[in-house]
Amino acid sequence: MNFSFGKYKGKPVAWVVIEDPDYISWFIRQEMKHRKEYGFAIEIIKRFDEIPFSNASCCARYHCQNPVEYLCLYDLEYSGENWVCDYCDPWSLWVRENKLTTVNKYEETIGLRNRAKIIKAFARAKGLPERITEKVVREFFEY
């Protein structure tokens, strides 16, 4: 489904979900429930959140083979591919533990600095390529 209005008119909703998360979250906050894009965007985000971070590996322990559950942020910002599983201690990654946060859901990242980078890292870890074309998102989200 493509946007039928606004700044991304003609662009696939799923593409905008990855490329401009702030726009999508703004759009959702407007609660334009009469727009078919509204429910679709929520559905795409739900599907995105359900896909595991299979392309990432846990950084907290050498050769940890457990599935990754979270991206670690330093000072509420993206600070590289610092992934952690559910069993390792993310606080082992940095000394200043009060600066550490973990995120793993799309809407959890609202308002964070460099949010686009965080969502891009999520996308890569979930198996999307670096360059996200309309075809890529359609195949990825199977629609």
State which of residues 88, 103, 112, 119 lies at the interface with Zn ion (CB under 5 A).
88
Verify binding: residue 66, Zn ion, rule CB under 5 A.
Answer: yes
What are phi and psi for residue 30, nearest 5 degrees? -70, -15
Contact by Cβ (8 Å): 90, 74 = no
Least distance in Å: CB of 57 to Zn ion? 8
Q: Does 64 bind Zn ion (CB under 5 A)?
A: yes
Task: Return d(Cα 16, Cα 2) in angstroms, integer.
Answer: 9
How many chain residues are in contact with Zn ion, going by CB under 5 A?
Answer: 7
Spell out the alpha helix ranges (H) of the chain: 13-19, 21-29, 36-50, 115-125, 134-140
Contact, 73 vs 88, CB < 8 A? no
As beta bridge partners, residue 77 has 74, 113
Helix (H, G, I), strand (E, B) or coil at 62: coil
Dist. CA 136–CA 18, nearest whole Å: 11
* Residues 17-56 as x/- pattern, contact with Zn ion by CB under 5 A: ----------------------------------------
Instruction: Give the residue with the Cβ less far from Zn ion, 37 or 69.
Output: 69
Choose one: 14-22, 33-41, 61-69, 103-111; the region binding Zn ion (CB under 5 A). Answer: 61-69
Stretch that binds Zn ion, among 9-17, 25-33, 81-89, 130-138 (CB under 5 A): 81-89
**Contact status: 57 vs Zn ion (CB under 5 A):** no
Residue from 13, 16, 44, 58 touching Zn ion (CB under 5 A): that is 58
> Which spans of this chain sit near Zn ion (rule: CB under 5 A)?
58, 60-61, 64, 66, 85, 88
